[in-house]
Amino acid sequence: MRLFVTGGAGFIGSHYVRTLLSGGYPGYEQADVTVLDKLTYAGTRSNLPADHPRLHFVEGDVCDRALLFDLLPGHDAVVHFAAESHVDRSLTDASTFVRTNVGGTQTLLDACVASGVQRMVHISTDEVYGSIAEGSWTEAWPLLPNSPYAASKAAADLVARAYWRSHGFDVSITRCSNNYGPYQHPEKLIPRFVTRLLRGETVPLYGDGGNVREWLHVADHCRAVQLVLTRGRAGEVYNIGQGNERTNRQMTDDLVRLCGADPALVRMVPDRKGHDLRYALDDTKIREELGYAPAVPFERGLAEVVDWYRSHTSWWDARRVGAGVASRLAAAGV
């Protein structure tokens, strides 16, 4: 078995690859893995095991058609994590998001069809659905994205579906709730707040802090992706959730407590443009069809993540320059 993983040096992709190489997915203990990653600010080679005999790493762009046509032949399946994923950045420059998320997905699909790759899982997000005041989204919910990032992911989802319908290509789409875990870049809410609070720095909380999100541990997300890879149906979408909901205010309070920080470090800032009020996924389909269930309780997972950042200051200290962009945007009310 040979797998091709795009974005495999990023937060979620590297967790998937590390688990795969350590024998964490039954039936794939001997799988060879090719990782393609552009190594932007959000990805780093150090997230992956150096010199693993079953890992082949290629630094490159998912939009590079010639490179993909050269690399893909001989691979059995593709897991497509590669994406620009930060909403604040998409509000200041959407062009990179459209290029990578839409154009990159289309180029990858072209290369898969031409190269004889048999299977692909396209990793998407719950943000493609927009915002929901009550209830939860099923996979049949219309796509109503509210940020350039979410719109680019929704477009990529539709391109993937079109390749299933037009070319008969075996592709499934996953849409997950907010992820958290170790090795997450400190531009994202949990690591940004944790790393700042541990240093005694202020943290910006948008609006009144009433926006609601579900939080999914990266290990649970990656297990679900593997289930979809091995048992998911072609052309189908699978929501991946956790079933817990936290307002941003509640999450902030949890992080302040776990970091042992002063609550006065929380600073209210003007709300973000087009800030979705609430996300909530109905993941009945993947639970009933594929037997998925999250295994990491939120309270335990969050405490372990805070401890990880507390004991890995050298890892995140080197990445706080990129995170500073998001902080400056928040401070400006973007």
Residues known to be catalytic: 126-127, 149
- Name the strand (E) or helix (H) holding 175: strand 171-176
Distance from C-alpha of 267 to C-alpha of 254, rounded to nearest angstrom: 15
Helices (H), the chain: 11-21, 65-71, 87-92, 95-97, 104-115, 148-167, 189-198, 218-231, 248-259, 284-290, 298-311, 313-317, 320-331
Backbone angles phi, psi at 129, to 5 degrees: -80, -15
CB under 8 Å to 34, separation ≥6 — which residues? Answer: 2, 3, 4, 5, 56, 57, 58, 71, 75
Residue pointed to by tokens 């990782």: 35
Instruction: Retrieve residue 324's tokens.
Output: 């500073």
Instruction: Retrieve residue 4's tokens.
Output: 């091709």
Distance from C-alpha of 306 to C-alpha of 137, rounded to nearest angstrom: 30
Bin 23: left if φ > 0, else alpha if -120 < ψ < 50, else beta: left
HSE-CB at 153 with a 13 A cutoff on CA atoms is 29
Backbone angles phi, psi at 36, to 5 degrees: -110, 120
Distance from C-alpha of 269 to C-alpha of 284, rounded to nearest angstrom: 36
Q: Which amino acid is at 99?
A: R
Instruction: Tell me the three state secondary structure of residue 178.
Output: strand
Q: Which amino acid is at 118?
A: Q
